[in-house]
Structure 1
């Protein structure tokens, strides 16, 4: 089994009226290479005639964003021409690459009617050789995310990235990594073998879990050592876990605002290119 280094509780940092727990980075954990950033928005219930999500047009470069919609919806729009509304159970995967502008807001229907909302946003790093790749975006609804039912129906694994037991994942990735949301009924058990040297992302979205014998609850991130290969999880209540793993890139990370590069000079260039309109125009 992989040894647990520390269990981190995400602090509460609301964004306007949006319930937000900042899982990573935190004062104790900068990143889990190549997983850079994780925000947990909600759970909360919006009233009718609300303003929705506050993430209007903003730039990115050098990384990818993965947005997992547990409840509610997101209207994505970007400067390369992509636009979609992804609903509960769906996932958006955006490669910022050399740079683009995008917005993630609520649909007009959600703003009009209100309802429950819960969303995760994860940033994954790109290696230096791919920092300036062409931007891409794919949004998939729930029925396009493969789901594998296990342990007599007590465990459901949504295969977002990285094939699972010969089941093709929903998204192909530029950098090899595995990412799943795992839904547990009480008593559900799952054991996963992780390649030696890979880093593990394990975050309890809801519920209570035993992971490699240690208790972890909602809003807690479990940080593992890189030794060992096995991760065993058992639900103590109805639970949802974000689970991923990947080989670290082992490259310098210089992050400032919406840009993630390898050097401070590249960050300066990103701001200059943004000011010069090289990320596209917002119309």
Structure 2
């Protein structure tokens, strides 16, 4: 087994009326290279005639976002001309690269009618030689994401990056990475062997899991030791898990606001380039 190093409880960090928890970065855990940031918004229920998500136009450079919609919806708009509304079970993958401006807001239907909302956004670092690559965006609905089942149908896996037991992912990553959203019914279990060289991102979105024999609640991130072995997971109640793994870059990282670069000078250049209009124009 890959030993559990530490369990990190997500900290409560509300944003306006949006319930938000974050297990990383905190004082205890800066990053799990190349996984660098997670916000877990919700679960909450919005009334009719609400303001929706508060993430108006803002810039990014040097990193990527993977956004998981488990309830509600999210409308993406960006300065490269991409636009989509993704609903429950869908995932958005955006590469900021050299820089773009985007907004993440609720659809007009959601703002009008209200409803349940739960959305998670994970930031991935980009390696130094790809930080200035061309920005890109792909948004997929639940039925567009390849999935497979395990344990007699008690477990459904959405394969997002890389492959698992020959099942390929929905997105082509910009560095070697494997990631899945896993939906477990009570009693469902699986084991997965992960190379000692890779860091594991393991976050419980909903429910309770036995992880290597230890019971862990939702809104907890599990940090594992880097050793050969597998992780063993069993659901003690219905649960949702985000599981990713990738080799660390082992490069210097400077993160400031929406920019993630390798040096402080590159951060200053990012602010200058944004102010000079080099991230595109916002026409929405």
**Range into which the TM-score falls when normalised by the shorter chain:** over 0.9
Cross-structure match for 1:95: 95
Cross-structure match for 1:215: 215
Cross-structure match for 1:3: 3
Counting matched residue pairs gives: 283
Cross-structure match for 1:200: 200
Distance 1:103 1:56 in 2: 5
Cross-structure match for 1:43: 43
- Equivalence map 1:1-283=2 (5 Å): 1-283=1-283
- Residue 229 of structure 1 and its aligned partner are, at CA, apart by 2.7
- Residue 153 of structure 1 and its aligned partner are, at CA, apart by 1.3
Runs of 4+ in 1 over 3 A off after TM superposition: none
- Residue 39 of structure 1 and its aligned partner are, at CA, apart by 0.6
Is the CA contact (8 Å cut-off) linking 2:195 and 2:227 kept in structure 1?
no
Runs of 5+ unmatched residues, structure 1: none
Distance 1:229 1:246 in 2: 15
Distance 2:141 2:204 in 1: 23
For residues 123-148 of structure 1, the C-alpha deviation after alignment (integer angstroms, 9 at most, x for no partner) is 00100000000000000010011111
For residues 188-223 of structure 1, the C-alpha deviation after alignment (integer angstroms, 9 at most, x for no partner) is 101111122100001111111111122211111101
Distance 1:227 1:195 in 2: 7
Distance 1:33 1:212 in 2: 23
| TM-score, normalization by structure 2 | 0.98
- Residue 98 of structure 1 and its aligned partner are, at CA, apart by 0.2
- Residue 152 of structure 1 and its aligned partner are, at CA, apart by 1.0
Distance 1:190 1:97 in 2: 35
Is the CA contact (8 Å cut-off) linking 2:177 and 2:246 kept in structure 1?
yes
Runs of 5+ unmatched residues, structure 2: none
Q: Secondary structure at the match of 2:94?
A: strand
Is the CA contact (8 Å cut-off) linking 2:53 and 2:106 kept in structure 1?
yes
